[in-house]
Amino acid sequence: MFDLIAEHPLLASVLAFVAFCVIVSLYDITQKHHTILHNFPVVGHLRYFLEMVGPEMRQYWVANDKEEMPFNRDERSWIYASAKGENNTFGFGSTEQMYGIGYPIVKQAAFPFPDYRAYHINGDPSAVPCLKVMGAAHNRRRPYRPRSIINISAMSFGSLGERAISALNLGAAQADCYHNSGEGGVSPYHCLGGDIVWQLGTGYFGARGPDGKFSVEEMVRKTTENDKIRAIEIKLSQGAKPGKGGILPGAKVTAQIAKIRGIPIGKDCISPNAHSEFDTVDELIDFVELIAGKTGLPVGIKSAIGKIDFWHELAAKMKSRGEGPDFISVDGGEGGTGAAPLTFADHVSLPFKIGFERVYRIFQQAEVSKQVVWIGSGKLGFPDRTLVAFAMGVDMIQVAREAMISIGCIQALKCHTGHCPTGVATQNKWLQAGVNVEAKAKRFATYVKAYRKEVLSLAHAAGYEHPAQVNGDDIEFSSGVNRFLTLTETLGYRCDEIEFRGMASLADDSPDASATQTT
């Protein structure tokens, strides 16, 4: 037979191919699971192949530069170029529909803030610390002024691989921003030099006692041992799946993750949809004060916005008790996730601008908005959106998917499968091997610095030294045919004015420097 193959290789190849097709055809016809394969043996497999590679093909061959979701090609190109330190400008003018409803315009000042007067903290022209100090309003023992207005939003080790988490934390140290741990807890890969905000979800991962319940003693032990943990964030919900617990598919639950979280290997890790330590506003405030009292750290909450009665009660209780969260992270319904039911991602919780406006207005009316450090997240990782958020009252921005894109994510939409082709959102060792931690850390840091620098440039163009000085009168939105309204008119409120004595005053890292909250 081997002599026949050697003498007639082409014929042998054809016969082998025919035999293969016959075998596949017999299998397709006899299998009971797929109608397409039964009715169209062999060629039916083409349908499944095209379905598998469809998202990637549409990205490159079908969709135009403004069409793709959640981030279009222009947005991703800006992040990639910024992260690589390349030219991130665009030529020939805007391609946006400026008269489209909701289109924002930043109004430049006749006399911009001069770049030559800008003070560069530690010689970094992109340095922009937060004006407010976390924990100052409630006299926490260990208050914290974040040294960057742009920070990393919650992404757990598990949802992301160890190399991606490591790159982000190293990059956070280089860019002088903080890294939110995500509800999976603080892993060794979060502890490579960057400041950490420890997120506490309904599973209480990393802060559980032997009985599996929340242990404040365990939290105290870990925050005492790790001085890079600068604040605690209690997660009530997130924009992509509010009212539902976190979901880590079993394909991502490795032995190491199972050990860190205290869960079975290879099984879906689904956190409860509600906290077991509190279920009223008073109990939430008591929980905040318990953690803050024991650790000395600022303690805040993260939530998507749905029913508004909770926020009325929280603002009222904070005013009457003089206690409560030191910061509030508002996550828009357009926010990202590693895995979520489609209906929850598409139809539950308000988008950022609507949700934030409703909550901020309530706290303003209760006269407690200045006591809170406001953090925004949900597709805000671009300079124009950031400036609009600041004009609404936000003090800082957190980015997640934008951070992933900066270290190589190509928006393949496979986060929930464990087969991320770029090695970012997977536990697969082979796929992760392509992530060069040091190189990706530098890219993330470069992206954050370019991002902050452009936000600063927009603030300067509007006549201000710090982006937090921008207010609703400085932004206009298209509201109809040839009609624009200021953000103040659109929202019905003007954000709080925070005391600011110049960027140079923020060079001092002490909580008393420059601006603090009004109690």
| Helix and strand numbers, DSSP H then E, in the chain | 17, 13
pLDDT attached to residue 518: 44
pLDDT attached to residue 59: 62
Residue 196 in tokens: 């950490």
Residue 338 in tokens: 């590693």
pLDDT attached to residue 116: 92
The domain spans of the chain are: 2-62, 104-507
Residue 71 in tokens: 């981030």
Predicted structure pTM score: 0.86
pLDDT attached to residue 259: 74
pLDDT attached to residue 296: 97
> CB under 8 Å to 18, separation ≥6 — which residues?
none
pLDDT attached to residue 515: 45
pLDDT for 182-238, tens place per residue?
Answer: 988 899 999 999 999 999 999 898 898 888 789 999 999 999 999 999 999 999 987
Which residue reads 């992530």 in tokens? Answer: 435
pLDDT attached to residue 326: 98
pLDDT attached to residue 138: 97
pLDDT attached to residue 341: 67
411 in Cβ contact with 405 (< 8 Å): yes
User: Per CATH, is 104-507 categorized as 3.20.20.70?
Assistant: yes
pLDDT < 70: residue spans in the chain: 1-8, 54-67, 240-247, 338-342, 345, 509-519
Q: What is the helix, strand, coil percentage profile of the chain, to 5? A: 45, 10, 45
Per this entry, what is the length of the chain?
519
**SS3 state at 85:** coil
